Amino acid sequence: MKKILIFGFMFLSLAACRSKKEITNNTERINRYFPELLGDLVFNLSLDEVIAKRPNLAPVNYVNDAFSFRKEFVEEINEAGIKKLVYYFDANDRKPFYELIIIYENDKIRDKEALRLLGQPNFENNTEWIIGSRQDYKIKAWKYENNLVLAAQLKGTEWEE
Both 3 and 67 in one domain: the answer is: no
pLDDT at 30 (0 to 100): 46
Q: Report the pLDDT value the prediction gives residue 64, as an integer from 0 to 100.
A: 67
Residue 89's nearest CA partner among 47, 53, 38 is 47
pLDDT band at 12 (very low <50, low <70, confident <90, very high): very low
Instruction: Tell whether 157 is covered by a domain.
Output: no
Q: Per 3-state DSSP, what percentage of the chain is helix, strand, and coil (rounded to 5)?
A: 30, 30, 40
Residues 22 and 6 in one domain: yes
Residue type, 124: E
- Enter the pTM of the model: 0.79
Residue 16: CA atoms inside 13 Å, Cβ hemisphere, count?
Answer: 6
Residues 58, 40 share a domain: yes
Per-residue pLDDT at 4: 47
For the beta carbon of residue 2, count every other beta carbon within 10 angstroms. Answer: 6
Q: How many percent of the chain have pLDDT more than 90? A: 66
pLDDT confidence of residue 68: 85
Domain that holds residue 7: 1-26
Whether residues 16 and 35 share a domain: the answer is no
